[in-house]
Chains A and B, each alone.
Chain A
Amino acid sequence: MLRYILFGAAILAGLIAGLYYGWELSPVDFGAGGPNSLRADYQADYVLMVAEAYRSEQNIDEAAAALRLFPDRNPLHLVESATSFAVENNFSPSDIARLNALHSALLDWDPDLALTPTPDD
C-alpha cells in the first residue's frame, strides 16, 4: 500500500515540476516574435490606441480591423484583457472609460455585417 502512495506522490511531484517548467521557466513562444508575443503592457497599450481612435471615429469595423494585429485573439477577449490590465495597473479613468466603450461596442458588433458593405457606403 505504501508503495502505491509513494508512486502517486512521485507522479504528483513530477506533474508539479513539469507544470512549473512549462508555464514559468520555459513557456511556449507563440508566433516567435509576432504580436502575440508582445509583453502584456504593450498589448494593453495597443488596444488603448485602438480605443482612442474609436472614441473619435466611432467606427467599430475599423477598430476591429486594427485589433487583427493579433490574429489568434478574439477581439472581445483582447479588449477584456487590456481593460483588466489597465485597471490593475492604475491607468487613468479616461483611458479605462475608452477601453470600456470599445468593449461595449464590440459586444454589439457583428463581424459578418462588417464584411458586407452597407447601402450607405
Chain B
Amino acid sequence: MTNQDPRRQRRPLPQRSRGQKVERQPPLFLVTGLVAGLVLGLLIAWIVFPARAGSIDPAELNSEQKDQYRIAIALAFASSGDLGRAEARLALLNDPNPARALRNQAQLQLLQPDGQREARALDQLADALAGLGAPSATPDEAAAPVPSGTPEADG
C-alpha cells in the first residue's frame, strides 16, 4: 500500500520567497451559510411570522375609513360627553373644519338605511364644537382628563 505513484510523492512544495503569503481559497462555505441564513431569516420575518407594522396616523386613512373613525369619535362623545377628548381625537384627522366635516357626514349618514344613530351623534358633536350644547346622553365623566396613553394631536 505504500507504493504510490512516484510523481505524486515527489511533487515539490511551492517555494516561497520571504514575505510572500500563501494564497488561500476564500471560505466560500461561510458566505454560503451566511446567505442561506439571511434568506431564511427574511422568509420568517416577512412571510411566516411577519411583524405588524404600525406607523401611520388617522389622517393617513382613506376617506371611508376616516368617516368610520369620525363616527367612533362621535359615538364615544355621545356616551362620555368629554368634548376635550373628542376634539383631540378629531384633530388627528386633520380636517380643515372639523365641525363642517361632521355636519357633512351627518347629512350623508341620514341617507343610509341605518344611519340615524350615527347622524345624530355626528350632529351632536358638531353642535358641541360650535358651542351649541352638550350631548343628550348623560355625560358620565365629562370632566375626566384625557388618559396619558391617548394619542395627542401632534400631527
Residues of A within 8 A of B (CB): 3, 6-24, 27-30, 33-46, 48-50, 52-53, 55-57, 66, 69, 85-86, 89-92, 94-95
Contact = CB atoms under 8 A, between A and B. Distances in A.
A38 B54 contact: yes
B38 to A, nearest CB: 4
A23 B52 CA distance: 9
A80 to B, nearest CB: 14
B54 A40 contact: yes
B46 to A, nearest CB: 5
Interface in B101-144: 137-138, 140-141, 144
Interface in B19-59: 27, 29-46, 50-58
A19 B44 contact: yes
B53 A21 contact: no
A86 B68 CA distance: 22
Interface of B: 27, 29-46, 50-58, 60-62, 65, 68-69, 71-73, 75-76, 78-80, 89, 92, 137-138, 140-141, 144-145, 147-151
B50 A28 contact: yes
Given A33-B62, A56-B140, A94-B141, A14 B35 contact: yes
Nearest to B56: A37
Contacts of A89: 147-149
Contact of A44 (B29, B38, B149): B149
Given A44-B149, A69-B68, A10 B56 contact: no
A11 B36 contact: yes
Contacts of B53: 27-30, 37
6 contacts: A10-B31, A30-B50, A36-B52, A37-B53, A66-B72, A89-B148
A16 B41 contact: yes
A61 to B, nearest CB: 11
